[in-house]
Structure 1
């Protein structure tokens, strides 16, 4: 069948096993908003086909899946959730597969990121730009958020000097969640305390991020969807609450007006509609910005918060940036 509708279709780019997406898609289905779900990194090797035409007369194209055909000029919004990477057809090997993967990234990725008139949540290129932690810290400062003193360096002497001058201690944070394994088993690199004497010459191997440890009473996860903010206080026995989420407690919390204004400015400056912000809050009530994941998970929060975020995302996808 051909999928259109009064306002066009919502195109959702994500993996088949992304259950978080289902929460929003159920709401859109109840509202009778047409949706096409695609994992471009894999589906185009399993029966889906994408075609785009460009010329002086305009731009047009189609996405055909085993169950439907989508007019690319009738896409009202695109939700860039968690698509698979472009790895190339599984039947190819070596340079042939690498070539196909590269062509898919620049071809398919370019088509889906350039749909005329579509509202992106978020645009994939803006997502990528907003994932750089140095850029996050710079943007946060510019928008009026408090930021812990931070050093990013591959100079061990500078790192030790920085750590020695932080009276409250220092933590190490990876700049990217790079896959890491020990003896063939996947390991997560958590935020951890670091003492000056633990910093070795191995720092020269790549940039490391060291940050003054915030004396925190609790953490906050603030999920922003357009102008709507949803925040939970996180009480955890761990420095990094992600380490043992089964031990943390989450309760709704009100966002201070100044923080809310700064978060809005952050989204605008980063061209984001969605952002998952992490803060450390001191006993005095000061909110310190830690990071913003432009495509962070959110369905782990208490059911009322999760449901509100899902409805806010559905509103964005259905009605556009005014929601």
Structure 2
């Protein structure tokens, strides 16, 4: 008899990427519950958890089903809506409800007994930090571009002027930003020492030696499997104009695969989207790892393979 324990997918209703994996799980007759805690609990859903000595139990109720959360096989933390509190509240009442939901609902869903997480939300949070990424990447054996994080303009200018190949600026977090009321993305861009002003002292900035790359590479890691694509783009930051980039499958060198394995183990990740700058000499420089990066934009064969690997992770559940 097959495993009847369900897979819980935490994501928003507009997440079409999740649908690709959900269809595979349906074909395999794996029971799945899709839930968006930041939104659904304000409409027709409820979550209850009880704790007693030696016993933890709970129930997730939606308009269509009841789920015993103690029996969840795997949890896929995909793209859930943020905890913002009910729209009918305002001011500090809404902030209070949002924080209680984040720590209460989020805490319950992050501590389901015996569930396999892809990825655990607390591991995701730690792995999103750029300083953490660089530190773990260094220990894992990756090549790193020389990097400086500082709020001292003099340090920033000195670092930039000392680089032979030039330097780039990268935000430490993709903070929502608007210009004239319109959403604005802060892309990776080249920077020169004379451009650095005293405004750097307002907050930490990250500067990095520019890699003389032949191409970019994205390596998607799912468990112990890696899927590589080469990205050719006219832009320093290929995300800026994705309609101009081309992607082709590329073999991942063994040294990189081993470093990825060490990195994911070090941060407790079952999934990671790694970005590299690759030189003409064949050196792969680690740039970052998004623990919940998008993957369905890659070539069809790669996308299908990643979807199958994710379905395998969710179907197998926790290690025994």
Match of 2:206? 209
Match of 2:231? 234
Q: Give aligned pairs, total.
A: 319
CA positional deviation for 1:68: 0.3
RMSD: 1.1
Match of 1:137? 134
Once residues 57 and 269 of structure 1 are traced to their aligned partners in structure 2, the CA distance between those partners, rounded to angstroms, is 30
User: CA contact under 8 A between 2:5 and 2:72: conserved in structure 1?
Assistant: yes
**Counterpart pick for 1:279 among 273, 276, 279:** 276
1:70 aligns with 2:67: yes
User: CA contact under 8 A between 2:277 and 2:287: conserved in structure 1?
Assistant: yes
Match of 1:128? 125
Match of 1:88? 85
Match of 2:176? 179
Match of 1:14? 11
CA positional deviation for 1:320: 2.9
Moved over 2 A (4+): none
Match of 1:269? 266
Match of 2:51? 54
CA positional deviation for 1:321: 5.7
- In the superposition, the TM-score normalised over structure 2's length comes to 0.98
CA positional deviation for 1:184: 0.3
Once residues 7 and 224 of structure 1 are traced to their aligned partners in structure 2, the CA distance between those partners, rounded to angstroms, is 27
CA positional deviation for 1:74: 1.0
CA positional deviation for 1:57: 4.0
Helix, strand or coil for the counterpart of 1:224? strand
User: CA contact under 8 A between 1:226 and 1:321: conserved in structure 2?
Assistant: no
**Counterpart pick for 1:320 among 291, 296, 317:** 317
Once residues 5 and 318 of structure 2 are traced to their aligned partners in structure 1, the CA distance between those partners, rounded to angstroms, is 15
CA positional deviation for 1:7: 3.9
Once residues 320 and 32 of structure 1 are traced to their aligned partners in structure 2, the CA distance between those partners, rounded to angstroms, is 15
CA positional deviation for 1:242: 0.3
Once residues 117 and 202 of structure 2 are traced to their aligned partners in structure 1, the CA distance between those partners, rounded to angstroms, is 37
* Alignment gaps of 5+ in structure 2: none
Once residues 57 and 248 of structure 1 are traced to their aligned partners in structure 2, the CA distance between those partners, rounded to angstroms, is 55
**Counterpart pick for 1:116 among 95, 113, 118:** 113
CA positional deviation for 1:6: 2.5
Once residues 273 and 22 of structure 2 are traced to their aligned partners in structure 1, the CA distance between those partners, rounded to angstroms, is 20
CA positional deviation for 1:27: 0.3
Once residues 308 and 81 of structure 1 are traced to their aligned partners in structure 2, the CA distance between those partners, rounded to angstroms, is 18
Match of 2:303? 306
Once residues 241 and 135 of structure 1 are traced to their aligned partners in structure 2, the CA distance between those partners, rounded to angstroms, is 23
Helix, strand or coil for the counterpart of 1:217? strand
Helix, strand or coil for the counterpart of 2:47? strand
User: CA contact under 8 A between 1:175 and 1:208: conserved in structure 2?
Assistant: yes
User: CA contact under 8 A between 1:13 and 1:39: conserved in structure 2?
Assistant: yes
Once residues 318 and 170 of structure 2 are traced to their aligned partners in structure 1, the CA distance between those partners, rounded to angstroms, is 33
- In the superposition, the TM-score normalised over structure 1's length comes to 0.97
Once residues 263 and 57 of structure 1 are traced to their aligned partners in structure 2, the CA distance between those partners, rounded to angstroms, is 38
User: CA contact under 8 A between 1:168 and 1:214: conserved in structure 2?
Assistant: yes
User: CA contact under 8 A between 2:73 and 2:318: conserved in structure 1?
Assistant: no
**Counterpart pick for 2:100 among 75, 95, 103:** 103
* Alignment gaps of 5+ in structure 1: none
Once residues 12 and 307 of structure 1 are traced to their aligned partners in structure 2, the CA distance between those partners, rounded to angstroms, is 19
CA positional deviation for 1:247: 0.6
